[in-house]
Structure 1
């Protein structure tokens, strides 16, 4: 037995991979404990389908992390296989060589992470070095590959005259977008000396052909697992950055393994820029066996701020049925998992307890407030637009609600929906949220806006009314816990566009609605009321 091999497979205290700093919010290192939870759910699914057998005792299976960073998934898989294959391969060196050359594979997302992953897995950044615990590799990469890939720029409208490597004149676009991931050419067309973030696993028209190029024509993976890059690192940030994790998920499923298990932001449940088609596909996919959801900020990945929380899922090629939903809170299961159809609603309702409440509300088949609420830029005025501090000297003044202040403009400056200016309106902030780990407000305070008033895109026009009385009643309705709870089911981040009102019934404005009246109207039980009020706080000025 090699002492080097034995040392490498001992428990680490503390585990260096639990201490390593993240590269950025879009390239997040997975804590070892979290990675093991994901592996546990794979093992349970395998045992269910194989009469209790252990997946870690099968020497024929192949595992792939196609976007490895720290190598934590590959390391923990190796550790489990090392234990599971003791009987079949009793010699430790033979067993380690078999596992690491025949069963465990990875694709680094950058040159740096490929070196980190090899160090985690082989105990050496070069798989073939004398320090490596594997004795069968003849090349430095081993089974953790990294390939420098360039973006494929399309759609440019600006061009410059330059020369190729041989000095021949060429015309080159400068403001295109990558056809695969949508990256900005201006930000990421920067040569070989800097990282391009053109990930090999998604920059291809044929993922099966790409895998064959990397690992050989006969390579078929049984388990694809990992934590993909979340968004484009091209200057965007927070909600404005373009998500790309869905591209990794789709290509992993296209490889048709037995299992796909990945951790991603949970924004896809109900919103997210460019995620509508992905959400629709995921909700209709009856191979989705499990979703484990961490709604609380920082809960799954301590210190990493991912608004809307994170979750991981298990896709099972041979499964066809409802999906088991488990909510986690402070690192522990919150109640028992509940199996339900993902496509029951047009968005995924993350709280199991919310489903029967929503079913009661929707059973009345009433119109919803999304039909009342305006789209972005209701008057065609951008957030940064401001008028004069006073109406003095303005021929036909209109009061303008804008970002952090009220100003005055001339009626002629209203770009669109001029007819709304002289109606009673209720305005709602387009963005509402805090940095708290748990959001409990979900909507800002409604503003009752009278005739000769308008707003920038900081606000949406949530409703138009003939009278002040109707507008005030509507504003009171929007402040109820009942309304804000229904909004929360479609609101995963600070952004509150028209769509978040898609579950809120458009009730008659014949009274000033209270929560008690609304609970009674929809026949909610005491337990359901308690759940709503545990999730939604009163407004701070109430």
Structure 2
């Protein structure tokens, strides 16, 4: 290798890794610029822990990307090490061979991405090929390993990743998404099998697959990224750096135990959060945004949390104990507001709001277009329409039929990059009504005045702000109301009254009103089952 062939891939125009499209929902490529932000955070932590030393000038540090796709992390690490080890290894070829054979390792998630990663790192899809910049390998894979793994089916599900056997048990000719790193009970032994030696990695870094490609879609698909993080932490590296969707912070299907583990782990050192849609990964729609974290094996204390908005920090990083609440409150500015609310120790609305299917009727259930010829008709709020059903059709919570109710849609959100409403407009439903799964019953009341006051309460900025702290996606399930105080409904609650009740400062109020859009006065719908109005 000559000095003219220096490993300076960022100097090439264009950088191919800024141009490639994502292959599927589970294979989201990391932009090189974002990967370098993560590496900068790692380098800063290393320097702080090693008397200012440069991690890129240390020839002993081993790096692993256990879910490599484009190879961007491995490529950027190799580039930094190539510059940092110039004094240690003046000969460029010897330097590159040392880095690629002893320091940089990856596990491809598919055959295609393993080839792409090798091309990014070795400049050849074969590590020992004619055009490879490495000269120390005697096999094609080099240190970017890939072999097809298999799911272990137990009662129709994989015991490791919970993939559906019906969908993904489809033979050797098609991708089964059985990722080798997480399909094992003993990760260290598995790594030894892959790389031919007992391996201890100083840094594990990556952007894991986000969800199982087994028939789910969007936020309803089963997440899988937490399994990679958990396996990585089990390796006990010096540092772990991962970028994932941020839904785990407050919700996410099957993520409760993972969230509890992360929030209680005092080795979490940094979290950098990108809540605005498309900002972290331009052009990639990940509801709830993305974030990356740095886990430090020797850290024992609070975690520095920082939010990035429109490319800039919203303020300085704040050291916080992540387990102060049962979810991660993403914005630092929100924490003192929530503390003031929680200080009153009041009951919260999650105890009042119903679970899904409040009357046992699915979203696609349809009633009759009119009450004609129904013996005991009740009005049914359906998906984007109203219908009529027999009273005896309601098998769940039939006692609610003859109460005043406030209904809220179970899903609320838009495709906009910034959500500002967080809850739909409340519907005040008079006695003689029910609803399908499209709605939750937010509360039941003996009289219309209390129901109207409650609807007004739900539309305040104060309530919707507290909801926003727990609402990571469009789904507005009962748990998003867990920070909202359950106040008496014998009066009309306004934002001014609520701000005063909880002693919020002008700074607190300004922050709430910067996050939540104001609703028009009396923005709720009151429906009489005797009315012919559609809504």
Same fold by TM (over 0.5)?
yes
Name the counterpart of 1:14. Answer: 14
Name the counterpart of 1:49. Answer: 49
The 1-side partners of 2:394 and 2:2 are apart by: 78
The 2-side partners of 1:516 and 1:405 are apart by: 35
Instruction: Answer yes or no: is 1:183 the counterpart of 2:163.
Output: yes
* Aligned pairs for 1:62-211 within 5 A: 62-155=62-155, 176-211=156-191
The 2-side partners of 1:526 and 1:332 are apart by: 24
Other structure's SS at 2:40 match? helix
> What per-residue deviation string (whole Å, max 9, x for no partner) do you get for residues 11-47 of structure 1?
2222110111111232100000000000001000100
Other structure's SS at 2:286 match? coil
The 2-side partners of 1:540 and 1:251 are apart by: 49
Other structure's SS at 1:201 match? helix
Deviation, 1:3, is: 5.9
Out of 196, 210, 215, the residue aligned to residue 216 of structure 1 is 196
Instruction: Answer yes or no: is 1:458 the counterpart of 2:429.
Output: no
The 1-side partners of 2:313 and 2:147 are apart by: 39
Other structure's SS at 2:278 match? coil
- Contact map agreement 1:8 1:133 (CA 8 A) in 2: no
The 2-side partners of 1:219 and 1:80 are apart by: 22
The 2-side partners of 1:274 and 1:428 are apart by: 24
> What per-residue deviation string (whole Å, max 9, x for no partner) do you get for residues 190-240 of structure 1?
111111100001111111121111123421000000100000001111111
The 2-side partners of 1:334 and 1:430 are apart by: 30
* Aligned pairs for 1:389-468 within 5 A: 389-468=369-448
Name the counterpart of 2:223. Answer: 243
Other structure's SS at 1:282 match? helix
- Contact map agreement 2:3 2:92 (CA 8 A) in 1: no
- Contact map agreement 1:383 1:402 (CA 8 A) in 2: yes
The 2-side partners of 1:423 and 1:492 are apart by: 31
> What per-residue deviation string (whole Å, max 9, x for no partner) do you get for residues 390-443 of structure 1?
000101001000101000000111021111111111111000000000000000
Out of 270, 291, 295, the residue aligned to residue 271 of structure 2 is 291
- Contact map agreement 1:4 1:133 (CA 8 A) in 2: no
TM-score w.r.t. the length of structure 2 is 0.96
Structure 1: state its 5+ residue gaps.
156-175
Q: 265-274 or 326-335: which moved more?
A: 326-335
- RMSD over aligned Cα, in angstroms? 1.1
- Contact map agreement 1:25 1:306 (CA 8 A) in 2: no
Moved segments of 4+, more than 4 Å: 7-10
Name the counterpart of 2:38. Answer: 38
Out of 370, 373, 378, the residue aligned to residue 350 of structure 2 is 370
Instruction: Answer yes or no: is 1:509 the counterpart of 2:494.
Output: no
Change (3 A) 1:57 1:3: closer
The 1-side partners of 2:285 and 2:46 are apart by: 33
Deviation, 1:323, is: 0.3
TM-score w.r.t. the length of structure 1 is 0.95
The 1-side partners of 2:279 and 2:238 are apart by: 29
- Contact map agreement 2:356 2:437 (CA 8 A) in 1: yes
Change (3 A) 1:498 1:81: same
Change (3 A) 1:267 1:10: closer
- Contact map agreement 1:431 1:495 (CA 8 A) in 2: yes
